[in-house]
Amino acid sequence: MQRNANTQYPILLVHGLFGFDRIGRFELFHDVKQALRNAGARVFVPHLSATHSNEVRGEQLLTQIQRVLKGTGASKVNLIGHSQGALAARYAAAVAPQSVASVTSVSGPNHGSELADFLCKALIPGSLPEQIAEMVASLFADFLSLLSGNHRLPQDAVAALNALTTEGVRAFNEKYPQGLPKTWGGKGRELVNGVRYYSWSGVLQRNILDEGLNALNPLHAFLRAFSHYFINEPEQNDGMVGRYSSHLGTVIKSDYPLDHLRVISQPSGLPTKNIDPVNLYMQHAERLKNAGL
């Protein structure tokens, strides 16, 4: 049966930290973008600084939103942000709600990332035992070496890391609280200032065998290693973001069996057990369409 994702407003897929065109040989958002376009949606992928603060990336997003509005003749856009991209989307909606129909957070660190907290400590001499600090820093550096992205935009890795810590996001949330739950693990208001807020995310499976062939993916191995540094949500995270930290607006589901990167793609040859991440975006586009968005 032909799917219909012809939303009233264009969809912008907003990348997160270390925004890259590809993950290994896979183009970022490729499967999602193509599926949505094949179902009739107008889809754009704005490029933001790979590393910078939420506000700087949010301003860059605002500029590109205006370009999309001018080019399409639409009055608003639907923003779907992955990881830090969710914070950029939230900023844009808070600053210019008249231009944003909806914000959807996909594995967004809406209350900060415990991994970012740990990395910050690892970078401060004496904050952690030297051996642990070196191990964490080395692990993260190796992970980043697998991610590629060359954008001619300003970069600030320190600002990006600070913006993703629990403390950094807390300060961000004080200025831009739209859609945030009032209780930990709860849901937030779906409609704020004319903008609808949604979220979904995944968690690592306790048994690695439940990951299917994705267990053989080196990126998944890194994420599983990162998950050991979570204290508040030790078994409820996707390798980078805790399950309940991801909640925003209407929480569609926050424990899909997907890690932090699998939630944005479904590369051929590496099927994920029981879930097709691309279908989540298709379902959501239909959800937006049915809501008149």
SS3 category, 216: helix
Confidence label for 120 from pLDDT (cuts 50, 70 and 90): confident
Active-site positions? 83, 238, 260
Q: How many CB atoms lie within 10 A of CB 176?
A: 18
* Tens-place pLDDT, residues 191-214: 999 999 999 999 998 766 556 656
Q: What domain count does the chain have?
A: 1
Q: Which are the contacts of 120, defined by CB distance < 8 A and separation ≥ 6? A: 161, 162, 165
Phi, psi values for residue 93, rounded to 5°: -70, -35
pLDDT over 60 at 149, yes or no: no
SS3 category, 235: coil
pLDDT over 60 at 139, yes or no: no
Q: How many CB atoms lie within 10 A of CB 162?
A: 16
SS3 category, 188: coil
- 4 in any annotated domain: no
- 6 in any annotated domain: no
Indicate the residue type of 97.
Answer: P
Rounded to an integer, the average pLDDT of 51-62 is 92
pLDDT over 80 at 261, yes or no: yes
- 3 in any annotated domain: no
- 5 in any annotated domain: no
Tell me which residue range forms the domain holding 162.
11-290
Q: What is the mean pLDDT of the chain?
A: 84
pTM above 0.85?
A: yes
pLDDT given at position 16: 83
pLDDT given at position 280: 95
Bigger pLDDT: 185 vs 264? 185
Please, which contacts does 216-224 make with residues 24 or more away whose CB atoms are closer than 8 Å? 216/270, 217/270, 218/146, 219/23, 219/24, 219/143, 219/146, 219/261, 220/259, 220/261, 220/262, 222/139, 222/142, 222/143, 222/146, 223/259, 223/260, 223/261, 224/259
pLDDT given at position 125: 60
Q: Domain containing 43 — which CATH number?
A: 3.40.50.1820
Phi, psi values for residue 183, rounded to 5°: -125, 145
Rounded to an integer, the average pLDDT of 61-82 is 96
pLDDT given at position 167: 94
Q: Which are the contacts of 108, defined by CB distance < 8 A and separation ≥ 6? A: 16, 81, 82, 83, 84, 85, 86, 87, 90, 199, 201, 241, 246, 248
pLDDT given at position 254: 96
- 41 in any annotated domain: yes
- 245 in any annotated domain: yes
Bigger pLDDT: 182 vs 157? 182
Q: How many CB atoms lie within 10 A of CB 273?
A: 12
Rounded to an integer, the average pLDDT of 237-255 is 95
The answer to whether 85 touches 48, Cβ cutoff 8 Å, is yes
The answer to whether 268 touches 207, Cβ cutoff 8 Å, is no
- 2 in any annotated domain: no
pLDDT over 90 at 117, yes or no: no
Alpha-helical runs (H) found in the chain: 30-38, 54-72, 84-95, 114-123, 130-145, 157-164, 166-175, 218-226, 277-290
pLDDT given at position 264: 85
Query: In the numeric block, which tokens belong to residue 113?
Result: 């990332």
pLDDT given at position 246: 97
Provide the CA 231 distance to its chain's centre, in angstroms.
21
- 1 in any annotated domain: no
Q: Tell me how far apart the terminal alpha carbons of the chain are, to the nearest angstrom.
A: 22
pLDDT given at position 150: 47
